[in-house]
Structure 1
Amino acid sequence: MQAIDRTQRQLIEQLAPITESELIPLETALGRFLAEDVYAEQDVPASDISLFDGYALSAPSACGSSRQVAGVTYAGDAPAVLPEGDFVWRIFTGAPLPDGANAVIAQESVTSSDGRAVILHESMSVGAGVRPKGADSRRGQRVLCAGTRLDAAELGLLASIGCAQILVVRKPRVAIFTTGNELVAPGEPLEPGKIYNSNHIILVSALTRLGVEIVDLGVLPDEASAIRTALLAAAKHVDLVLTSGGVSVGDADLVRQVVSEIGTIESWRVFLKPGKPLAFGRIGSVPFIGLPGNPVSTFVTFFLFVRPALRALAGGDPQIDRPPLNLPLAQDWVAGDRPEFIRVRRERAASGETRLQPFGDQNSGLLSSIAWADGVALIPADRTLMCGDMVDYFPFEGWYL
């Protein structure tokens, strides 16, 4: 069995980033990866602007001085010209400073009897109350690098420099299969010995959240010839073949066996609980990942191994994860002989401290444990932990970045 980090590295090393790109509207680019560096074509802001409602003036200026109001500028107006001498210019938040002004005094810091003149109640220095030209980005400045995943903040930045379209990496195409004669689609009659296929919706949902083009090829029976035909056909059209089930050591676990015959298996066991029977390799030149069949194992190994693989395919950083939180356990825990990701939920103790409460039954077939939990805690192998001991906690919401 291989360690988790070694398996991740070995998997990533066999992946070649997608080189095809496409130009798409900015509003459709959420979750996509930039295919090239992006540079600002103009300064943002395009001129010095006021940080608040007040009066633009030429600094330095002394407290107690009186100034005449020479005009007014609103956000969206073109810059005016401040006359020389003891003048101020009425200005509002986001408006460009008039030529000749270099500071803004807040309207709360002046008094005015008739709106035509003001008395300053504080001294002003050059640059006070001003957002300088180019403070956000300068013309010619690189604002985002190739490989950046575009979320709301990045899209807002691109909009601020005037981008209407953006060049992004083509979405990874992933063929998914679930395997097993026992699987029945939800809504169909459940005959004796059958179970509803939950892994299919887990994979489809997770891949959708991660912005992947899904090639859904349904359920594979426990039959070597059918598995062989389906995998070979799928590998002709996708960037990754992904299966769940059929990679352990049972007589009906045929996926790993078939892939080893038509391609290569680089690894098939990970020093991990849940999720030891994980396989990866190639079908021809196309990467293959075979996830274990138990639904919790499918869920955990997807985010540990498939997610970074997808980022690598899209040209992003596969090791982008935020550092885990370090939080105390809410009960004693005796670890097994493998590192274990246990399902936990943050709960507030009477003392006000946030602690991690494990789900009562950590069986890898219980999807109720995943639905109940808000993350997983990593328990090192061969450790006995006491209530209050600190562990690494990985919240689920971080897994969709």
Structure 2
Amino acid sequence: MLKFDDAQARFAASVAPVCESESIWLELAPGRVLASNLASRSEEPLPAAGTLLQPGHIAALAAQGYVEVPVFRLVEVALLRVDDAPTDAAPDANSPMLEALVHSLGAVVRRRGHVPAEGARLHDALVDLIEEGECDVVFVSGAPQLFAGALVAAGGELLCRQVDMNPGRAVLLGKLRGRPLVCLPADAAAAYVSFVLLVTPMLRRMQGRALIYPPVSRVEPDFFVPHHGEGDAFWRVERATAADGTDWVRAAVRADSQPDASVATLGDASGLVRIAPHMSGRTQGRVPYYDLSRWLC
């Protein structure tokens, strides 16, 4: 089992930027990553290669006469769900959420699939997705134990079996014929947290971005932390600013909440805080804060 920091680094190091680039009209470039440095036609600076282009960058480029710019092509994703078919009583929460998360990073979903929780069926689905070669990365939802066996049986390599974090402990990372595969936990809240913290740096690196880890600030928590043993705990929180200008956060979901309530509050969080192992009671001091407005773009 990997510590969180080691796992985060391993996920990012397992991939390389998508090398192909294309030249597109300037007005279509916002949200795309600049693939190469451009020659300045005046004394004004230009965005460097690896910059995620924003409207302000477009203005700067247009002011220097550029009408087209080279950008990395979009990262293409396959989503594969492994479980029983959804029903009215047990609908599929993960697939729509994961597709929305992929789109928030500026990647695109090219393939969607579903197989029952059977090792042979999962093995065949993974091989088919990789052999077709249509996608740069495959995200599997659910059945981590089956995923590990199916990957190895297909000739793949398991790079990360578990991460010492909560939620998200059951996330796995592998490679099959040079392509990365990530198996996310079946629980929607755990899949959400592991995607934000482990997968988004990986996707940014594949996109060719210069900055793959957004800034992590520190905030004052205003909630009681139950004892959680080993591993880093990541709480969904809502951020606020006190009258004296101090940033503080309150929990967006209680530690003793039911799973349905946990999913219901997924959209309420402004970020995640990292609580160190064995920290319990009323926390003393400031803790790392992962701002979702930065980590999900």
Using the size of structure 2 for normalisation, the TM-score is 0.90
Bigger relative CO (Cα 8 Å, ≥ 6 apart): 2
Distance 1:155 1:306 in 2: 28
Equivalent residue, structure 1, for 2:110: 215
Label 1:316 to 1:257 Cα distance change in 2 as closer, same or farther (>3 A): same
Label 1:200 to 1:350 Cα distance change in 2 as closer, same or farther (>3 A): same
Equivalent residue, structure 2, for 1:70: none
Q: What is the count of residue pairs matched by the alignment?
A: 290
Equivalent residue, structure 2, for 1:89: none
Distance 1:149 1:10 in 2: 23
User: Identity percentage over the alignment?
Assistant: 24
Contact 2:49/2:210 (<8 A) preserved? no
Equivalent residue, structure 2, for 1:159: 62
Letter matched to residue 98 of structure 2: L
Label 1:267 to 1:38 Cα distance change in 2 as closer, same or farther (>3 A): same
Distance 1:39 1:346 in 2: 42
Quick one: which of 127, 145, 167 aligns to 1:274? 167
Equivalent residue, structure 2, for 1:239: 136
- For the residue of structure 2 that corresponds to 1:328, the secondary structure is strand
Equivalent residue, structure 2, for 1:23: 23
Gaps of 5+ in 1: 44-133, 248-252
Equivalent residue, structure 2, for 1:389: 285
Deviation at 1:342, TM superposition (A): 0.6
Letter matched to residue 33 of structure 1: V
Are positions 1:228 and 2:110 aligned together? no
Deviation at 1:388, TM superposition (A): 6.1
Contact 2:189/2:263 (<8 A) preserved? yes
* Deviation by residue 1:138-179 (Cα, 9 ceiling, x = unmatched): xxxx62222111122222221221211111111111111122
Label 1:389 to 1:333 Cα distance change in 2 as closer, same or farther (>3 A): farther
Contact 1:342/1:378 (<8 A) preserved? yes
Contact 2:50/2:211 (<8 A) preserved? no
Distance 2:136 2:112 in 1: 14
Equivalent residue, structure 2, for 1:146: 49
Deviation at 1:225, TM superposition (A): 2.3
- Higher Cα Rg, which structure: 1
Deviation at 1:363, TM superposition (A): 5.7
Equivalent residue, structure 1, for 2:148: 256
Which structure shows the bigger proportion of residues in helix conformation? 2
Contact 2:219/2:249 (<8 A) preserved? yes
Deviation at 1:197, TM superposition (A): 0.8
Equivalent residue, structure 2, for 1:32: 32
Distance 1:331 1:152 in 2: 39
Distance 1:8 1:360 in 2: 26
Distance 1:352 1:38 in 2: 41
Deviation at 1:319, TM superposition (A): 3.3
The farther-off stretch of 349-358 and 165-174 is: 349-358
* Deviation by residue 1:16-49 (Cα, 9 ceiling, x = unmatched): 22111111111111211111101222x2xxxxxx
Distance 1:241 1:167 in 2: 26
Letter matched to residue 138 of structure 2: V
Contact 2:216/2:289 (<8 A) preserved? no
Label 1:347 to 1:8 Cα distance change in 2 as closer, same or farther (>3 A): closer
Distance 1:296 1:364 in 2: 12
Letter matched to residue 136 of structure 2: D
Gaps of 5+ in 2: none
Superposed, which structure 2 residues align to 1:334-353 within 5 Å?
Answer: 334-336=226-228, 337-347=230-240, 353=246
Q: CA RMSD in A?
A: 2.1
Distance 1:351 1:23 in 2: 49
Superposed, which structure 2 residues align to 1:126-145 within 5 Å?
Answer: 134=43, 137=44, 143-145=46-48
Label 1:205 to 1:303 Cα distance change in 2 as closer, same or farther (>3 A): same
Distance 2:212 2:161 in 1: 22
Superposed, which structure 2 residues align to 1:55-204 within 5 Å?
Answer: 134=43, 137=44, 143-181=46-84, 183-184=85-86, 190=88, 194-204=89-99
Equivalent residue, structure 2, for 1:322: 215
Label 1:339 to 1:363 Cα distance change in 2 as closer, same or farther (>3 A): farther
* Deviation by residue 1:66-87 (Cα, 9 ceiling, x = unmatched): xxxxxxxxxxxxxxxxxxxxxx
Equivalent residue, structure 1, for 2:12: 12
Distance 2:239 2:151 in 1: 41
